[in-house]
Structure formats: structure tokens, C-alpha cells
Structure 1
Amino acid sequence: MQARQCFATGGYGPDEQLLPREALLARLPETASHFETQCGTWAAFKLARQLISFTGDARYGDWIERLVINGIGASLPSAADGRVYYYADYNPCGGRKVLHSTGWTCCAGTRPLAVAEFHNLIYFRSADSLCVNLYADSTVRWRGRAGVVRLVQRTRFPESGRVDMRVYPVRPGRFRLKLRAPGWLAGPMRVRVNGRRISAAPDRQRWVFVERVWRRGDRLEVDLPMGFHVERLDPGRAYPCAVLYGPVVLAFRSPEGPPAPWLPLAGLAGALVPSPGEPLTWHLRGRPGVLARAFHCIPEGETYYLYLDPAARPRIPHTLVVFSGPWAHGAGFRYTNSVGATAEVEFEGTGIRWLGHRFDDAGRAEVSIDGRVVAIVDQYGPGRPLPFDWRHEGLPPGRHTIRLRLLEEKHSASRDRFLNVAGFQVLGTPPAGN
């Protein structure tokens, strides 16, 4: 699952499907629905919690941490009418955070369930050990063989890798604290007890043991070295890839389009300059308009690039398309069955690709570019949803306008005449900066 299905965020299941690697790579730029965030996070929390409990292996905590920060922790607040951040968008052509158009979906219910699960995931316990799985501001009361112990954890993680803990046993007693050694560490984990450095070598299950007679007020200081690193969707290919700082996935703001051509993946520490007063935010040296920011800090509606790929071309999301007539909101697209309804957008390039889906109730559209009809396109397909790919190339360089108009005529097998638009992808224009 981790090696073949998960994205860098810990998310999985584009369009709610588990796919072979080649299909997963192909789907990345084809959809805006890469991870059903609330339900998928809740399911992973439940699975990883049980796996840690059964095996004692801290590695499963890395998945929990990724999702706490980059999964549900990176989602938008729900709306009062039940609309929720349903799908996460990792498209290398550009993504946006949006709420689902329909209220009270399944994710509206699993969101509070997943958040309520947090308190079960920070600490684990046995008769003689208290295990710190997540580094988070928190307090726990644990009854072990040595008696009742209160542990207070104070940290700004992941903004900082420094964690301070205070131990308050009811009476002095010997027991073991176990600290998860994350897989993303940029250097050896450092641990001090009452100011004195101790060995922090993790065991084979990636726990660091601190066993001693603990007294009231004992202080435990933990330093978790963080650094930039790259995670590739296919380890055998340089792209597509995501950039992380410790466990934090970064998303890029780039006014000139997908930023992959300008990012030196082997020299990120020298290329990304910290932005003063903005935690987990960097500007690209020499291109101050390119900003790298923690995905969980990206606001609603802002275009970002999470996965990087030099082959990616600018994408125009449906939110920037001009619709006329009655169009409804779907999961990452707009749709209508009103004859004569139109969708129109301007673009700059030598080609354009219409993004959408085939459905068994879809209709036909007249497509015109710069006022000239270039095609009649049928979105009918014997299923729901099915891949859809229509493009037009060979235009002269410059600005153009594409317009779709729903027709009355439709495929004889179609149950209706719905037209859907997820957006457009500009073709024939090299990435900015090349």
C-alpha cells in the first residue's frame, strides 16, 4: 500500500480507485480527485492504529503523522450547510482546494470521526511503557506498574523539530518512555534528560527507549532534525515528484505556471530561501514569485502545484470557466442538461484539451474556437465515469477562446444529454522559463 498506492501526503485512491503503478502515473494529471480526504484519513487512522497495537512497530506512525499534517490537517473547514473538503487535488498541472458542492456527503460525517480519533493516536501504552507516537502539544495520564504518571508535551512541531516533555509521576518509579523515530529524519535524533544527552539509537521497530527512575518534574528534550527531501511517485523515474520538509508536503505558488523546470531537486536547501515571519514558507532564489509553502497552509481557491513534472502544462480549472445557463456543481466539475447552455474560456497556446468524463447519460456539444465550429463532441460512454479525452491542436500562437454549447441531439443509447466540464488543459506551449 505505502510503496505502490500512497501519494507523498499519505493519501491514496484517485477517483476512489486503487490502481497499478502505470495507471496511477497516468491518472495523476487526469483528475482533480486524488484522495477522498475525510473518509480515507479515517480509514487509515483505524488501520494504522490496529497495526501499531498488534505489531508494536512505530513505522505505522509515520503514515498517521503524514495524514494528520497533509491529509485531514490540510483540509478546509466545513461549511454550515454541510459542504466539506471532499477530494484533495494533486494534479501537476495545478490544483485548488474547494468544498464539495453537495452538503452532508459521507465525508461530512467521517470528518468529526477522524478528528475524534486523534486522541487515540498520540500515545500508546503497555503495562511498563508509555509510547509517544505523535509529537503534538498534549497531556496524557497513564497508569502503569509504577503508578499514575502525567506526561506534558509542548512543541510547535512541525514548524519546529524541538519537543519538550515534562514527567510527573505520583511517586518516583522506574518505567520506560518510548519515542517514535520518524523515517524522515535528516540526521540522528537527539534526546536529553534534565539537560544531559543520552543515547537515542532506535531499535528495529524504530522506537527510542528512555528507561530510568522518573521523578516529578523530570524534563525530556527531543530534537528531530528536519530537511528537504524528494519523494517520487515511481522510484525509478525522476518525475512526477513531491518536495517535503520533514513530514510536511510543500505546495508551490507559481504565477508563471508549473515550477518544475526551475527547481534543482538536488540542491533544494540552497535554492529555497526562508520567508521572514512565515513558518514553513520559502521563496525560490532568483525567482521570488515562486513560493513553497506547507500544503496545510494553502488557502481555499489558490492555485498550487504539489506534484512536480516538467511535462505538465497549465490547467484551467472549471472555477475559471465562464458558464451560461443552468450548470450544477459536481465533484470537481460542472454539469448541465439544459440545451443551449455554454461554457467558455480564454487561453494562450497552440492547442487545448477539454477535461471531463464520459457517462451513460451524457450528451453532445458543439465546440467552437475563435467563433469557428471545429467539432461535435459526444461525451456518452457505457458506464460511469469513463475516461474522456478530446483535444484540438495546430492553432497559431497567441490568445484564443473556446466555447462549448450543449446540443439537443444525443447518442441513441444515452439516458439523458448531460454535458460536464472539469476544466481545460493548454497544449503546445512549453513550460514557462524554458
Structure 2
Amino acid sequence: MLKRPLASGALLLTIVSGGLAATSTAATAAAAPNLQLPFSCGQKWRLDTWGHAPALDMVKEPDQHGTEGATLVAAAAGRVDKAFYHENGGNVVQIDHGGGYFTTYIHLQSRGVSAGDRVQQGTVIGKVGRTGGESNDHPHLHFELAYDANGDGDASWGFAGSERIKPTFNGVTYGQSNSRTWRNVESFNCPSRSPEGPASVYGVLPDGRLTYTEIDAATAKRTRGAEVSTASLGFKPKAMATLDYNTLLVTQDDSGGKLYRVDIISNRDTVTFERPVLLGSGYTHELLAYDGKSHLYGIANGVLRRYNLTKTKPTLADITGNTLIGSGFALKTLTTTGPDWILGTTAAGQLISYKINGADSWQRYQLRDATWQVFDHLLSPGGGVYYGHRPEGSLHGYFDANPYDGRDDDLGGQGAIDPDGWTQTLLSAQPGTVT
């Protein structure tokens, strides 16, 4: 038996076939972090539950040679919650990934981080070892994913009845039962790729003329435009959403809320377009955004509505649903980051992401608490790329390595795309052009 368990309940049972004793799983209430195996990209490891499913013991393939001293990296981004030495667990590191999820790394040869450190997925956090009485003096990583089911802000680990749950690496779930082995599991914990693809951005100038600009998402440099139309829309626009490369939806700034479809003929050298087609009225939204799949979102007086688009060049009959999602969406800007994901800023400077499920159902993630009030337009071409426009005419790029994890520690600035010259009163990016 263990001699001196932690007060939190860590490691309370004996070793079984080289691992820690069995535990039950906890029910989860939110999406777990996107985990990758906590080893260098391309390495292959053997995973065993022994008698302590869903916890896993990991040794290096093909013959365990190289396990001891192997570089250990964070399975996902987060904040180091604990880094300490335990009599039976040896060197231990625990990372808080947000949303109640924690990963714990046990028996380390050495720790490379301290409590409070911020880490990205792939950040080196230590080396694999055999420390602690329960290691059986056998080099291996004992790994646990836990969910804070009781909401006390902590995650128990290492004993039957703790909060550990089955982990999923690169989309594959492990730890389903005792005495399971998985061979040659490859690590895809690889350096993050830069965003790829051109961002297609449409805009409206104060005189109603349309503009088109392309931005290289990887370099955050403007590569074409702004191309400008000679014709104007013929009405004062209020909100705009880009459906695809050749189609815009624009509302008129009047009490009737007229909605127009604008069909682009060409955006090469100059922007030419057909006369706007009036689709209907009652669309009094201050903000519009299309998610690139089938849903159009609009906000009026803090109320968010969702419409179904059944055609890429819709008539009024092709805009259906008109689902009331909810109130309280007091956003200054609005864009989409993917199907049924919206992103916006508030007048107070918050950056907020929402996963929209349906009427009265969504998850809210506050990515930043302040400073984003400087932007009067926010747009995203997909792939975690965000562009913020300032009233003085500058455009700034940001890259979120995972726009769906509800965290801000993988969100960074790309710098100013242009310090001035963006004089448009409306801006909208074609969704899904960046990966």
C-alpha cells in the first residue's frame, strides 16, 4: 500500500501489473481539450491500461529503449496547476486546460515547468522517468486525463473513484477497460502549421462603391487590391455578409430593413456587379455574418437570430428558419469562425466566441477581457484567422491556433496588415477560404 497519499487523494492503491490501481470514469459536461500524445512528433509509443483504466502507462516503441529521459510535451495548451514531488508518484506535473479538464503526468525524471506557467500544445514540460515508489523502478509515463466533476476547481488523480476519464489522442479514444494494450501509437504533437490560403475581403466605401482585397493568411500581407467598383450600391448599407466569392447579402439602413443580394460579376482590376436584387424586408439587423455552410446570423438590439440558406444565390424563399437563438448578444462586431460558431467584440473590449446549438442553446467563451474595443469591424476567413479594423483605417491580423477550444492562450497577433487605407464602412470576409 502507499505510505503517504496526498490530501487530494492522489495515488491511494497498489500497483497492478506495473500500473496504478483501477478507477471509475466521470461523466463529462463539456467538450474535452483536443489532446495529442505528449511526445515529440512522429514518435511511436505503447499504451497500456493494466489494472487502472482509464489511466495509461506509456513506453517507447518498439522495445521500450529510449523511454527513460524521453522528452515530454504538453498534450494540449493550458496553465500548469501543479508541479511537485510525491513519495509514490515521483515528479508530477498537472496542467489545467480549462473547462474543468486536467492532464496529469507522473513518475517524471525531471520537471521542466512550474505552477502558474502557461504552456502551448507541444511545450516541453519535463522528461520521462521512473521516480516515486509506485513506478516499480520501471521507466514509463503514467498519464491521466481528469474532469473536475464536483466543481471544486481541482482534479483528483491516481486512485479508484478519482475524477480521471478516458483520454482521446488525435481523435482516437483509449483507456476503455483494464488489461488493454495499443501498439505503435504515433504522436501527432507536431509544430503548429501557419494558416494557409487567401482571405477574400469585400467592403463598402462611404459613397456606396464596393471593394475587393486579398490577404495571404500565412504572412498577413495584402496581395491584391483594393479593387474598387465604379458603380455604387444605390442605397445606404447597414450590414453585410459574404456568402461566397461572387455573392453578398446587404441590408439597407432604413426602418424597413430591406435585404438585397449582390451578385459579383468580376473583382479583377475593378469590381463589377449586377444591380442589387431586393429579396425582402424586415431585416433590421445591425450585424450580419454567414458561417460558410448553411446558416446566416443577424443581431438586432442584442437579439441573435439564425436563418437557413438553402441556395448559394438565394431568393427570399431560400432564406428560411428565422430561429430566435436568444437575447443578451450585445456585440459591437460579428463574424463567424466556422459552421455555427460566431465571434464578436463588445463596446467594453471583450472578445467572445459562441458555439450555437439552436434556440436558447449556446456555449459562451470569453477569450479576452479587454482591449478589443478599438475595432469597429471583425472578420474571419476561417482557419483561426481574425482581422480587426480600426476606425482610423488600419487592419490588424490575429491567429487562433484552435478557434474552438474556448481559450485565449493560443491566440496571438500577426501584426498590422496595413497601417491605414482601409476606409470602408463595412467589411466582410468570405468564410472558409483559409485552413
Structures share fold, TM-score greater than 0.5: no
Query: Which structure's residues are more often strand, by fraction?
Result: 2
TM-score by length of 2: 0.25
Query: Which structure's residues are more often helix, by fraction?
Result: 1
